[in-house]
Structure 1
Amino acid sequence: MPRFPGPSARLMSLPAPLRWAAPPVALLGGIALLLVDWSTPPNVTPPTPAPAVAKICAALDKALPDTVLGHKRQDPKPDSPYTAAWNSSPHTVLKCGIDRPGYLDDDPTASAPEVNDVQFGMAPDGHGGYRFVTTLRKAYVEITVPQGAYSNYIDPLSSLTDAIKSTVPDGL
């Protein structure tokens, strides 16, 4: 039965300069793919809030930080004052003016972390990450933190709560 050379035998049959260049070229190709993925803004359907909530959300949009834990802001497409995103991988996405999520009705205090005096309801996003929604505020602000974006899924909330506190009033 004939024997076929394995991948290392084929690699060794190449001239030395090509063998030496193969690992750096493969590494640079992988880095290029990552950069393309990080630089592409996500597609997010913006909410359509009532006029009073829309004003609050526009103010929040202006107050949001340019970076969250070292990840630059790169807003989703289509451009809207009701959505924002940061270049974590995958992207962390904020939506302002969403309808009240049903999971807040189940048991609003069961999974309700408080971060810097901002109360959140939370639920799994169905893909290993979490959705956090502000509670007891005049507008519902949802922050989606995908699996793997941060070492701790709650970490980005502390970067966003100052903007939320200063623009989204307390109350129902």
Structure 2
Amino acid sequence: MRSAHERVPRRWSVLPLALAPVITLAGCWSSGDSAGPAVPSPSGKAAGACRALHGELPGRVNAEDRAELDPASKYTAAWGDPAIELRCGVPRPEVLTPGSEHYNPLADQAEVNGVHWLIEPRDGGYRFTATGRDAFVEVTVPDDYAPEIGALPDLAKALRASVPKTEK
């Protein structure tokens, strides 16, 4: 499998994660089946930002139509088949958690249209997690859509409009 650096188009900058601001929530990931992605349960600022994001999400991502999910939630969305899945208000990824077994302050990150994304290769695709905002937003993109990072520009405007940057 190619490294994340090889898969990121040159017009997007890849930075060490240590250079990007992050927020302090806690981390996991779960892929959904045909029923849709696992629904996170954010609270506080993250919950409000996620509900706002839900109303801003585009009808198409990476030329794929938005799917109806079961269960329906203000914290999840999906496009296409196989699904590009979005989960808003997920816990902080382990690679961003000092002291965790997988902590890596130099993990790959890309800035796409003003949104910073943590890049994590997964079997069959990539998981991208928006960082430096009031909520962590996770997007999983199957390798059917390679280069997988191509799904992120369609989500950037909605994220910038509805999920504020974390105050320093």
Deviation at 1:117, TM superposition (A): 1.0
Q: Which residue of 2 aligns with 1:12?
A: none
Runs of 5+ unmatched residues, structure 1: 1-39
Q: % of aligned pairs identical?
A: 39
Amino acid paired to 1:54:
A
Deviation at 1:51, TM superposition (A): 3.3
Contact 2:39 2:76 in 1 (8 A): yes
Q: Which has the higher strand share?
A: 2
Q: Which residue of 2 aligns with 1:151?
A: 146
Amino acid paired to 2:52:
A
Q: Which residue of 2 aligns with 1:118?
A: 115
Larger relative CO (CA 8 A, sep 6+): 1 or 2?
A: 2
Deviation at 1:68, TM superposition (A): 1.1
What do residues 8-47 of structure 1 show as CA deviations (whole Å, max 9, x unaligned)? xxxxxxxxxxxxxxxxxxxxxxxxxxxxxxxx95432200
Amino acid paired to 1:171:
T
Q: Which residue of 2 aligns with 1:67?
A: 60
Max radius of gyration: which structure? Answer: 1
| TM-score of the two chains, using structure 2 as the length reference | 0.72
> What's the secondary structure of 2:148's corresponding residue?
coil
- CA RMSD in angstroms comes to 1.7
Deviation at 1:115, TM superposition (A): 0.2
Match of 1:138 among 134, 139, 143: 134
Match of 2:85 among 84, 93, 107: 93
Runs of 5+ unmatched residues, structure 2: 1-32, 98-102
Amino acid paired to 1:115:
V
Segments of 4+ moved more than 6 angstroms: none
| TM-score of the two chains, using structure 1 as the length reference | 0.70
Aligned length: 130
Residue 96 (structure 2) pairs with residue 104 (structure 1): yes
Go from structure 1 to structure 2 and tell me whether the alpha carbon gap of 1:73 and 1:41 turns closer, same or farther (over 3 Å shift).
farther
Q: Which has the higher helix share?
A: 1
* Mapping 1:68-83, distance limit 5 Å: 68-83=61-76
